[in-house]
Homo-oligomer: A and B are copies of this chain.
């Protein structure tokens, strides 16, 4: 029943975990914060929200606030329908975060996953990063052999395209290497057990991300 998108569902739950929002605003956040990769339209978002409500992950807070107080008072501007994550929704999201099946490292999913790394434990992050990396290395392998078999029959442009494609993948692998390395060296563990705790620490800058200096040291891998 209703659209169960996977990425969209995940992203919506993740964003609403931080704070309640109405659809319109949600969509903007989706298309900026996360939206370097994905852009959703209302035609996708609204039905999805309905579905999540039907599942009990979200509640709508229309017009009247809990005690009949007009919502106007809350924001200074009338918010039509504000969606708030329920306890069940929170649990569900935690579940999704830690469960991370093997499609967590596919192209469509990985970006969103990564965007919510801040709410995950390090082991999960490592699993996802390493999964992604081996996925890409697999792909590289295929590209290489396929290229070796067909190199002669291809014209310069096709070849150049192929080359650029492979280089892109290689570049992402190097990126992942840096990330994995700095996770490994990272001095904070953050919740080895999955659920709950560590409420709303605005995340300071607790994690050991590469903190990109200049960029491109001479590429240690290879």
Contact call A165/B36, Cβ cutoff below 8 A: yes
Query: Within the oligomer, what is the number of copies of this chain?
Result: 2
Residues of B within 8 A of A162 (CB): 36
In the complex the two chains form, what is the Cα distance from A8 to B32 in whole Å? 30
By a CB distance below 8 angstroms, the chain B residues around A155 are: 118, 202-203, 205
Q: Is A24 an interface residue (CB 8 A)?
A: no
Check if B115 sits within 8 Å of A207, measured CB to CB. no
> Would you call A114 and B32 a contact (CB within 8 A)?
no
User: Could you give, for residues 106-140 of chain A, a 1 whenever the CB lies within 8 Å of some chain B CB and a 0 otherwise?
Assistant: 00000100111110000000000000000000000
Is residue A46 within 8 Å, beta carbon to beta carbon, of the partner chain?
no
Question: Which secondary structure characterizes the binding site on chain A?
Answer: helix
Which of B150, B161, B207, B209 has a CB less than 8 Å from the CB of A32? B150
Contacts A205-B156, A216-B219; A111 near B167 (Cβ below 8 A): no
Chain B residue with minimal CB distance to A117? B157
Write out the residue numbers on chain B whose beta carbons fall within 8 Å of the beta carbon of A166: 36
Write out, one digit per residue, whether chain A residues 178-222 have a CB within 8 A of any chain B CB (1) or not (0): 010000000000000000000000110101011010011001001
The verdict on A40 contacting chain B, using a C-beta distance below 8 Å, is no
Would A160 and B210 count as touching, CB distance under 8 A? yes
Q: Residues 7-42 of chain A: 1 if any B CB is under 8 Å from the residue's CB, otherwise 0?
A: 000000000000000000000000011101100000
Identify A207's interface contact among B157, B175, B212, CB under 8 A.
B157
